[in-house]
């Protein structure tokens, strides 16, 4: 009997040792990558691509150093797949820039679950079937972007349009916000927060969402609803994704009209975009 228990204890400790070994391999691999990219010079060609983007040009030298490192890491770690198009430096660098801009306040690797970025040349069509009243409905959607389970799908035409027009819309930020929201396994507009923040987050977001939704249903439009657009009111997940777009794309107006939500997003993203991007 004692021999049996000894065997069980031995087995348990072997499992723990294997687990710790696996963890340390991952840790040292990450540290090696961080060291490598921290000492890598940011390519001039990448820098010239980013010069067209206001949010890049106005970053402080410290933030530029950090985002250069995050972009190099992103391009190295993520798989880019072009559908009926070739992936070039411009596509990689611009996608990486906006995805990393959202993570500028995070630690490297924090909340990072995207492994694949799929790029379509233009809008893409998705067929979905859903059940309603016992009947299957087939629907066709024309999409600018989509995200699920670590894969983000984006239309390059829409990225180019958002940048050229200095739009408050940004399909990359929108889709990566969905990925952040989905970190806890539920697309409900509430990403993983510090435990003390859930209550206030829920109050602030629900109150604003419900008010705007009621106004929309009554046919009323306000400056606030126009700033977000009606798509934001489709559900709570879209509301969070569009608010994230405005937080990075038009922070002056967003803070002025949605101060409570701005405050919550500032805490979540650990960035004060109204101060960072004074011209937006």
Q: Name the residue nearer to Zn ion (CB basis): 145 or 251.
A: 145
Residue least distant from Zn ion (Cβ): 241
Positions that interact with Zn ion (CB under 5 A): 238, 241
Q: Name the residue nearer to Zn ion (CB basis): 112 or 175.
A: 175
Q: CB of residue 23 vs Zn ion: minimum separation in angstroms?
A: 35
Q: Name the residue nearer to Zn ion (CB basis): 96 or 153.
A: 153
Q: Name the residue nearer to Zn ion (CB basis): 59 or 102.
A: 102
Sign (positive or negative) of CA dihedral 206, 208, 209, 213: positive
Q: Name the residue nearer to Zn ion (CB basis): 112 or 238.
A: 238
Q: CB of residue 238 vs Zn ion: minimum separation in angstroms?
A: 5
Q: CB of residue 144 vs Zn ion: minimum separation in angstroms?
A: 9
Q: CB of residue 242 vs Zn ion: minimum separation in angstroms?
A: 8
Pairing of strands 116-120, 151-155: parallel
Within 8 A by CB and 6+ apart from 50, the residues are 56, 57, 93, 94, 97
Q: CB of residue 229 vs Zn ion: minimum separation in angstroms?
A: 12
Task: Tell which phi-psi region holds residue 204, choosing left (phi > 0), alpha (psi between -120 and 50) or beta.
Answer: alpha
Q: Name the residue nearer to Zn ion (CB basis): 69 or 156.
A: 156
Q: CB of residue 178 vs Zn ion: minimum separation in angstroms?
A: 6
Pairing of strands 135-143, 124-132: antiparallel
Q: CB of residue 74 vs Zn ion: minimum separation in angstroms?
A: 21
Q: Name the residue nearer to Zn ion (CB basis): 179 or 238.
A: 238
């Amino acid at each position: 009997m004692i021999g049996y228990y000894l065997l069980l204890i031995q087995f348990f400790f072997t499992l723990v040792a294997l687990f710790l070994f696996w963890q340390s391999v991952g840790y040292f691999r990450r540290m090696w990558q961080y060291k490598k990219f921290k000492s890598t010079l940011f390519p001039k060609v990448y820098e010239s691509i980013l010069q067209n983007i206001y949010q890049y040009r106005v970053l402080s030298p410290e933030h530029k150093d950090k985002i250069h490192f995050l972009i190099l890491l992103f391009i190295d770690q993520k798989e880019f797949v072009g559908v009926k198009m070739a992936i070039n430096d411009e596509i990689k660098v611009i996608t990486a820039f906006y995805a990393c801009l959202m993570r500028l306040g995070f630690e490297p690797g924090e909340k990072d679950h995207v492994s694949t970025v799929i790029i379509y040349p233009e809008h893409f069509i998705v067929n979905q079937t859903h059940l309603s009243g016992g009947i299957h409905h087939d629907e066709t959607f024309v999409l600018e972007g989509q995200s699920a389970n670590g894969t983000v799908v984006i239309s390059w035409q829409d990225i180019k349009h958002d940048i050229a027009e200095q739009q408050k819309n940004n399909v990359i930020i929108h889709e990566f916000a969905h990925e952040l929201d989905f970190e806890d396994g539920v697309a409900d507009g509430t990403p993983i927060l510090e435990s003390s923040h859930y209550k206030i987050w829920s109050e602030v977001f629900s109150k604003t969402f419900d008010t705007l939704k009621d106004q929309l249903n009554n046919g009323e439009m306000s400056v606030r609803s126009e700033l977000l657009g009606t798509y934001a009111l489709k559900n709570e997940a879209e509301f969070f994704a569009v608010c994230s777009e405005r937080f990075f794309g038009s922070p002056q107006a967003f803070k002025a009209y949605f101060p409570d939500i701005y405050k919550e997003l500032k805490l979540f993203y650990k960035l004060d975009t109204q101060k960072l991007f004074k011209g937006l």
